[in-house]
Amino acid sequence: MSTTRQEKIVELISKNIIGTQAELVRALSREGFTAAQATVSRDIRALGLERERTPQGRYRYVMPRTKVVDVEERLRTIFRECVTSIDRAQNIVVIKTLPGLAPAACAAIDKMSLRSLVGTIAGDDTAFLAMRDDDAAEEICRRMRKIL
């Protein structure tokens, strides 16, 4: 029942300005859902709802905003924490990491959506990057070394 009620809550707050739990309880009641204020409070917490101010100065419940991840900063953090060396052989870049962290390094690199990157392969502590050409491999090595 809570899933259906929570789905209705999401629908109601997306179509109406609802700023208090009491308003939400009344709106749910109009839709045929019986819920106490404490239940609605738990639903709000479970859904992670946030309150924002409207242009008219009222508050309203809204779905949580997705946080924009700075891919470059994420890559820097992952590299600082796990990469031990970077080298290349022609168009292949070899990244050595602490044990178990090569997949994290590859995932961060994949998120960068580099046009010169053909693909990545991660083992336990070694990642291989296939670049389009030698120049692209040299450039990515240079960029990654700056991060370290």
Q: Let me know: does 131 contact 95? Beta carbons within 8 Å.
A: no
Q: Is 45 exposed, middle or buried (0-12, 13-18, 19+ CB in 10 A)?
A: exposed
Question: Which of 1.10.3720.10, 3.40.50.720, 3.40.50.10320, 1.10.10.10 would CATH assign to domain 2-62?
Answer: 1.10.10.10
pLDDT for 20: 95
- Topology adopted by domain 71-147: Gyrase A; domain 2 (3.30.1360)
Q: Using the structure block, give the residue that is written with the tokens 């296939």.
A: 130
pLDDT for 145: 86
Instruction: In whole angstroms, give the CA distance from residue 87 to residue 95.
Output: 7
The series of mean pLDDT values per 10 residues for the chain, 148 residues long, is 82 94 96 93 90 91 72 72 93 95 85 86 95 94 84
pLDDT for 8: 93
pLDDT for 121: 96
Q: Let me know: does 60 contact 17? Beta carbons within 8 Å.
A: yes
What six digits make up the tokens of 31? 């839709």
pLDDT for 111: 76
Q: Let me know: does 51 contact 60? Beta carbons within 8 Å.
A: yes
Q: Whose CA is closest to 46, among 2, 15, 1?
A: 2
Entry pTM = 0.52
Q: Using the structure block, give the residue that is written with the tokens 């052989």.
A: 89
Q: Whose CA is closest to 25, among 38, 10, 15, 16?
A: 38
Sorted by where each begins, the domain ranges of the chain are 2-62, 71-147
Edge to edge, what strands does the sheet with 117-122 contain? 83-89, 92-97, 126-131, 117-122
Instruction: In whole angstroms, give the CA distance from residue 57 to residue 101.
Output: 48
